[in-house]
Structure 1
Amino acid sequence: MPTEDPFRCFVPYPDAPVKNAAFGPLAGLTLAVKDLFDVKGYPTGAGSPTVLAQSGIKTRTAPIVKTLLDAGARFVGKTHTDELAFSLNGKNAHFGAPINPSAPDRITGGSSSGSMAAVAGRLADIALGSDTGGSVRAPASYGGLFGIRPSHGRLSLKHVWPLAESLDTPGWFARDGETFARVAEVVFGRDRITLPEMPRMLLADDMFSQAVPDAENILRNVVQRIVPALGQPESIKVARDLDGLYWAFRWVQGREAWIADGPMIERFAPPLGPGVAERFAFSKSVTDAEYAKAETVRKSFRAKLARWLGRDGVLILPTVPDIAPLVSAQEPELDDFRNRALRLLCLAGLSGFPQVTIPVAQREGAPLGLSLIGPKGSDKSLIAFAVKFERAARIRIA
């Protein structure tokens, strides 16, 4: 862990040696790792005192972490996560909240809160997070970073604390497109679908209307800035029933979260923090009928999005409805914002398609991201286009 941690990114574990290759494509880059991923020589706490108490020191490193170490990245510490990764706020009732280096009066977002803060605060060049319902994408938008939720199942989650099996993915943060793309070259093999140099762009008109009016106007203007270089996107409406998609996502996430953590919660009755306790209570209540209905909705939406995107399409949408909420916001306000955000974030989760968020704008001095969703398996070429898109927009966070 760095000797200085002004943004409270890192879990204060005793330092243990973590080997990395002396040479490789990521040599010279520092790596922070969310405390859901096992790292040999460290415990894995998952943002929970109960999980931490039972963890012990891990004897193996998660494959995704080892891949980065073997490529030359140098480990600098494990980062804070929201409790059991079941939050989008970045606040942990037991271990506190990291500070958002890009907007200190606003939340980091979660659950990959410490990983975002470490990269935005220049304490690490890259950081691993996980994304189930937006836990990389939302913090990346709030911190002015590149972030990705890869195609579901493309990267290993072995030796990683789960939340919802059919939604969980690893992901990572970087401050610049070049570094972001270097990681993609290391972790991904060949794309199953390779997007063309100039993909067919689809603007999700109904998703833009989910943003607050000021954020919507800013992001629509960003899209217009890329037209001279990349062309005019076609406007489409993604969801006839966005509430239906939202509830399908909630039911899938809830049922699977209870499968993952319910036995531990019922056995040890840990004192869960605000918001987390209510979400697990909801998770326990999800019925078989709701889960079955959610699976039907998910299958239908996945097929519909696959038809739209084909092998050459990219969907453009806001990452989240607005800049990060204020640190002073109370739980009901944060929960309302979370529910609004999930209506945007659930599309990639339900489909399993890759989504990249890019730093393109700011409002009231705080970062605001824009997202691209590509066909499943197009991750590397989607990142390449995202970097090109960000350069064309040229509204960068200072």
Structure 2
Amino acid sequence: MLLPEDPAHAFVPYPAVPVPHAGGGPLAGLSFAAKDLFDVAGYPTGGGCPTVLAMSGIKTNSAPIVQRLLDAGARFVGKTHTDELAFSMNGRNAHFGTPRNGGAPERIPGGSSSGSASAVSNALCDFALGTDTGGSVRAPASHCGLFGIRPTHGRVPLEACLDLSPSLDTCGFFTRDAGTFARVADVILGPDPAPLPRVVRLLRPDDVWHLLAPEARAALEPALARVEQALGEAAPCRVARDGFDTMYWNFRYIQGREAWVADGPMIDRHAPPLGPGVAERFEWSRRVTDAQFDGATDFRKAFSAQLSGLLGADGILVMPTMPDVAPLLSADESRLEDYRNAAIRMLCIAGLAGFPQVSMPLARRLGAPLSLSLLGPAGSDRSLVALVERIAG
């Protein structure tokens, strides 16, 4: 860590090693952090797991996306905590603790990009890299009151980054304001191959909105009105294929099988002491069958085609990012698991389709942040960020 102090417990306390960056460029004057899944020259990559950290060694090269930011003039200030092996969504790590939620200190930060969201929400850096497989940028963005993005799958390189589920993993980032969000997006995303038109077709997936508790829905209604004022009235639609339970299980079969392929050999060989929730998820993942995985892969193809047909070249879903504000830090593991399972039913839409989703901190409830999302067609990432700028004003 290259900061003098870390009151939010957002950063892994590695010995400070300066990382060279360009003296000028589009991100000059901005500082950034990287989730401890990305390689950074001079540092190990621990993945939130002491066993992985012990085997890491010091990296001699930075991940391509980290190097891109350095070459654009951004100053690296440290590596941030992640949930263990990125296989959680609450921000707690049994080995390294829980980073502080800068938007609601009495509540969990969300994960697995917990430290990155904590660092930005506590103003310890201007932006931070995270990864999003099942919601690991979008969840903490909503919980901590940040702008965040899950890009189109494959748009941002993930070389020299620890895998969880490669066909679902994406590289996203967090900022506190829309202007910085757009500035970083220019470097990380570049121009869209087929930009959205100036006038978009806003769609409200009522089946997703009906997953909310009435109190959360009421809190988001003024935010929805704000989006409609900027982009036009939203037409109702439905997006789930065969119901959200079916969506949930097919997502989990893909994620679980790929997570076991990525980390199962290490777990079997070294028997690391995995934390609560993480241990149970890996044990479940071990038992995903070929038939379950193959069926889920077929389901994903059909769902992606269905959503692509709904959105076309100009359709945008406006929907809640998460079911509610972040649970309290005092919540037990059972409560957090129930919340995670409810969240996946919303978050799996972008994951299964491979489409981009941006989360905007437009509401509050119980004194805590609550976000609204825009989800667009594949490749519309930078256009979505431009829409965020219009909405944020």
TM over 0.5: yes
Could you tell me how far apart the structure 2 residues matched to 1:334 and 1:31 are?
Answer: 29
Percent identity between the two aligned chains: 61
Could you tell me how far apart the structure 2 residues matched to 1:282 and 1:379 are?
Answer: 33
Could you tell me how far apart the structure 2 residues matched to 1:228 and 1:59 are?
Answer: 50
Could you tell me how far apart the structure 2 residues matched to 1:165 and 1:115 are?
Answer: 21
Unmatched tracts of structure 1, length 5 or more? 392-398
Q: Structure 1, residues 98-117: CA drift from partner, whole Å, max 9, x if none?
A: 01111111000000000000
Residue 238 of structure 1, CA deviation: 1.0
SS of residue matched to 1:221: helix
Q: Structure 1, residues 52-75: CA drift from partner, whole Å, max 9, x if none?
A: 000000011000000011001000
Contact 1:30–1:75 at 8 Å: present in 2 too?
Answer: yes
Contact 2:230–2:390 at 8 Å: present in 1 too?
Answer: no
Aligned to 2:177: 176
Could you tell me how far apart the structure 2 residues matched to 1:213 and 1:57 are?
Answer: 50
SS of residue matched to 1:356: strand
Residue 219 of structure 1, CA deviation: 1.4
Cα distance 1:225–1:189, how it changes in 2: closer, same or farther (>3 A)? closer
Contact 2:321–2:373 at 8 Å: present in 1 too?
Answer: yes
Could you tell me how far apart the structure 1 residues matched to 2:140 and 2:102 are?
Answer: 11
Could you tell me how far apart the structure 2 residues matched to 1:311 and 1:100 are?
Answer: 37
Could you tell me how far apart the structure 2 residues matched to 1:151 and 1:176 are?
Answer: 21
Aligned to 1:30: 31
Could you tell me how far apart the structure 1 residues matched to 2:251 and 2:381 are?
Answer: 22
Aligned to 1:275: 277
Aligned to 2:257: 255
Residue 228 of structure 1, CA deviation: 3.4
Contact 1:119–1:126 at 8 Å: present in 2 too?
Answer: yes
Aligned to 1:330: 332
Aligned to 2:383: 381
SS of residue matched to 2:371: strand
Which residue identity lines up with residue 235 of structure 2 in the other structure?
E
Which residue identity lines up with residue 21 of structure 1 in the other structure?
A
Which residue identity lines up with residue 264 of structure 1 in the other structure?
M
SS of residue matched to 2:266: helix
Residue 94 of structure 1, CA deviation: 0.5
After superposition, residues 1-398 of structure 1 pair within 5 angstroms as 1=1, 2-239=3-240, 240-391=242-393
Residue 92 of structure 1, CA deviation: 0.3
Which residue identity lines up with residue 390 of structure 1 in the other structure?
A
SS of residue matched to 1:371: strand
Q: Structure 1, residues 288-308: CA drift from partner, whole Å, max 9, x if none?
A: 111011011101110010001
Q: Structure 1, residues 255-279: CA drift from partner, whole Å, max 9, x if none?
A: 0000000000000000000000000
Total equivalences in the alignment: 391
Q: Structure 1, residues 127-162: CA drift from partner, whole Å, max 9, x if none?
A: 000000000000000011000000000111000000
Residue 186 of structure 1, CA deviation: 0.8
Contact 1:323–1:367 at 8 Å: present in 2 too?
Answer: yes
Could you tell me how far apart the structure 1 residues matched to 2:113 and 2:228 are?
Answer: 33
Which residue identity lines up with residue 335 of structure 1 in the other structure?
E
SS of residue matched to 2:226: helix
Which residue identity lines up with residue 173 of structure 1 in the other structure?
F
Contact 1:359–1:390 at 8 Å: present in 2 too?
Answer: no
Cα distance 1:5–1:199, how it changes in 2: closer, same or farther (>3 A)? same
Could you tell me how far apart the structure 2 residues matched to 1:137 and 1:387 are?
Answer: 18
Which residue identity lines up with residue 245 of structure 1 in the other structure?
M
Which residue identity lines up with residue 133 of structure 1 in the other structure?
G
SS of residue matched to 1:65: helix
Which residue identity lines up with residue 256 of structure 2 in the other structure?
G
Residue 173 of structure 1, CA deviation: 0.1
Contact 2:134–2:348 at 8 Å: present in 1 too?
Answer: yes
Q: Structure 1, residues 23-42: CA drift from partner, whole Å, max 9, x if none?
A: 00000000011000000000
Contact 1:193–1:375 at 8 Å: present in 2 too?
Answer: no
Aligned to 1:395: none
Could you tell me how far apart the structure 2 residues matched to 1:270 and 1:133 are?
Answer: 23
Which residue identity lines up with residue 193 of structure 2 in the other structure?
R
Contact 1:32–1:79 at 8 Å: present in 2 too?
Answer: yes
Contact 2:224–2:372 at 8 Å: present in 1 too?
Answer: no
Residue 243 of structure 1, CA deviation: 0.8
Could you tell me how far apart the structure 2 residues matched to 1:198 and 1:231 are?
Answer: 9
Could you tell me how far apart the structure 1 residues matched to 2:229 and 2:78 are?
Answer: 43
Contact 1:197–1:385 at 8 Å: present in 2 too?
Answer: no
Q: Structure 1, residues 318-362: CA drift from partner, whole Å, max 9, x if none?
A: 101000000000000000000000000000000000000001010
SS of residue matched to 1:273: coil
Contact 1:249–1:294 at 8 Å: present in 2 too?
Answer: yes
SS of residue matched to 2:172: strand
Could you tell me how far apart the structure 2 residues matched to 1:159 and 1:61 are?
Answer: 7
Which residue identity lines up with residue 297 of structure 1 in the other structure?
F
Contact 1:63–1:158 at 8 Å: present in 2 too?
Answer: yes
Compute the TM-score of the two structures, normalised by the length of structure 1.
0.97
Could you tell me how far apart the structure 2 residues matched to 1:387 and 1:86 are?
Answer: 32
The RMSD of aligned alpha carbons is: 0.9
Which residue identity lines up with residue 249 of structure 1 in the other structure?
F
Could you tell me how far apart the structure 2 residues matched to 1:33 and 1:16 are?
Answer: 14
Which residue identity lines up with residue 63 of structure 1 in the other structure?
P
Contact 2:137–2:149 at 8 Å: present in 1 too?
Answer: yes
